[in-house]
């Protein structure tokens, strides 16, 4: 029982540390992909796919409004998760937040008439590049 038990517990420890490290890396930054017709963002468990045709507005904001966290996390200068705005007790609209750096400006994306998403990167130049890309994809209303 000695050697097999030790080998088993060592394997469990290595697997646990590996899973924790992978989870940390997945949440450590926003992983984005831009295609011809859509924008995808992934951060750990949180994933959003936005079609450019669904975008209503792209705004530059310095702060996100106060919101109630439904699930997600805050750590260091990051905020990720699903939130609900404090407008009133009847508000059930969920807001996705993908913030990698609270001290930099954020992009507020309004899509499908009233849904919101806040995003930025650790690098402010990368955030400005995304803002310009998304702003250029909005089709003006006729």
- Tens of pLDDT, residue by residue over 25-47, are 777 788 889 888 999 998 888 89
Q: CA 51, 24, 92: angle at the middle one, nearest 5?
A: 45
Partnered with residue 73 across adjacent β-strands are 80
Identify the pLDDT of residue 141. Answer: 60
- Tens of pLDDT, residue by residue over 84-93, are 887 666 667 8
Residues 57/110, Cβ–Cβ less than 8 Å: yes
Determine whether domain 2-137 maps to CATH 2.30.29.
Answer: yes
**Confidence class of residue 135 from pLDDT cuts 50, 70 and 90?**
very high
Domain layout of the chain by residue ranges: 2-137
Identify the pLDDT of residue 16. Answer: 95
Distance CA 68, CA 11 (A): 40
Nearest to 72 by CA among 97, 48, 47, 91: 97
Reported pTM? 0.81
Handedness of CA 107, 57, 88, 69 (dihedral sign): negative
Identify the pLDDT of residue 122. Answer: 92
**Cβ count near 16 (within 10 Å):** 10
Distance CA 29, CA 22 (A): 12
Q: Are strands 94-99 and 115-120 parallel, antiparallel or unpaired?
A: parallel
Q: Write the Ramachandran bin of 52: left for phi over 0, alpha for psi from -120 to 50, otherwise beta.
A: alpha
Helix (H, G, I), strand (E, B) or coil at 38: strand
For residue 116, pLDDT over 90 is answered with: yes
């Amino acid at each position: 029982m000695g050697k097999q038990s030790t080998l088993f517990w060592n394997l469990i420890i290595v697997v646990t540390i590996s899973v924790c490290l992978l989870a940390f890396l997945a949440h450590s930054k926003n992983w984005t992909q831009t295609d011809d017709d859509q924008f995808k963002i992934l951060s750990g468990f949180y994933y959003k796919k936005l079609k450019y045709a669904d975008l209503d507005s792209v705004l530059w904001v310095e702060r996100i409004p106060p919101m109630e966290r439904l699930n997600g996390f805050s750590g260091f200068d990051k905020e990720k998760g699903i939130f609900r705005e404090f407008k009133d007790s009847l508000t059930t609209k969920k807001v996705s937040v993908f913030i990698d750096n609270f001290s930099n400006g954020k992009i507020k994306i309004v899509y499908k008439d009233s849904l919101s998403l806040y995003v930025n990167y650790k690098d402010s130049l990368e955030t400005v590049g995304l803002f310009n890309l998304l702003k250029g994809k909005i089709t003006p209303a006729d």
